[in-house]
Amino acid sequence: MTDSFSRAALPQIVVLGTGGTIAGAATGDPSLPGYTAGVLGVDALLQSVPALGRLAQIHTEQVANLDSKDMTFAVWTQLAERVAYWLAQPQIQACVITHGTDTLEETAYFLRLVLDTDKPVILTAAMRPATALNADGPQNLLDAVRVAVHPAARGLGVVCVLHGVVHAARDVTKANTHAVEAFSSGERGPLGEVDGEALRLWRQPVPEAGAPFPLPAASEWPRVELLTNAAGSDSALVCCLISSTALQPRLGGLVVAGTGGGTVHRELEAALRWAEQQGVRVRVASRVGPVRGGADDGLNAVKLRVRLLLELAAQNQAER
């Protein structure tokens, strides 16, 4: 934990590092595509953007340094605890988190559901490693800090700032595997944009029913598995998941990325009804995109899974 810049009159924020391509380094020639995610520390990322020192007094902490495809519930618990710790300090105005793009939308939505603060939490990331000649991370970090210190960001909750666009945690999704404009907020659209020093907000995030949820301890996360409905789907996977004695913890919930508006093959559907009779909680999203209406309005399958994980963890805690 270090003070990277100390300019007493500036707002104080914290930047937490978790890894990702934004902290990635080339495995060979930087002009070639090969790199490893989660190599550089958060202090090194800040040092590559000297302009940050004119915007804020920045504290840093390295919470993890991983490729976000390998994100774990233990890291989520630790991250939420560290964000809560820093934001409870009266002098800290906001928290920026550097993250990989692969599971950014899940981490953002998880934090949105467990944090109880009106101070802004901003996740940012990059599609190109820090050592790339045309790295996008430095600009994204600068934009994220600009949002963090902006008075209008208070009350926005957890947002993601990427390629000059401000996305709500509920709506943001990775929609492209290679372009720097990799993120989309779907039909609802982004919250706003960062344009130089200006933050332009077009709308507020939608409220989250049930939030804040209790934060599960690292050992208390339930098991919720994801299935996809497709041609030929049947009852086999559901039967395996329920009857397996190898699963620890046992299956608590299933989220199905259904077809179309959330439809499921009749054989899989019959298995899901049976799973519910065994006490497994079942929720259906769509593999096409957000389904409108209902309590899960607009949540994709991975975010619906985050919500169900936290609902089940809260239920388990209440029953203990």
Residue in the shown chain whose Cβ atom is closest to ligand ASP: 100
164 Rama class: left (phi>0) / alpha (psi -120 to 50) / beta: left
H or E, element range at 310: helix 301-319
Nearer to ligand ASP, 161 or 271 (CB): 161
Active site (annotated) includes residue 101:
yes
Residue among 18, 77, 98, 101 flagged as catalytic: 101
Q: Omega into 222 within 30° of 0, i.e. cis?
A: no
**List of E strands, the chain:** 2-3, 12-19, 25-26, 35-36, 57-66, 92-98, 121-124, 158-162, 165-168, 173-174, 183-184, 192-195, 198-201, 223-228, 251-258, 281-286
What residues are designated binding site for substrate?
Answer: 68, 101-102
Q: Name residue, tokens 């939420």.
A: 80
39: its two tokens: 């190599």
Residue among 18, 21, 77, 107 flagged as catalytic: 21
Using DSSP, state whether 2 is helix, strand or coil.
strand
Half-sphere exposure of residue 103: CA atoms within 13 angstroms, side-chain side: 20
In this structure, are residues 46 and 15 in contact, taking their beta carbons and an 8 Å threshold? yes
Nearer to ligand ASP, 26 or 127 (CB): 127
Nearer to ligand ASP, 99 or 112 (CB): 99
Start-end of H helices in 209-300: 236-243, 266-277
Nearer to ligand ASP, 67 or 269 (CB): 67
219, 96, 93, 203: which is closest to 154 by C-alpha? 93
Q: Which residues bind ligand ASP (CB under 6 A)?
A: 19-21, 37, 67-69, 100-102, 125, 127
What residues are designated binding site?
Answer: 68, 101-102
Q: Omega into 138 within 30° of 0, i.e. cis?
A: no
Rounded CA separation 257/270 (Å):
16
Q: Would you name the residues annotated as active-site residues? A: 21, 101
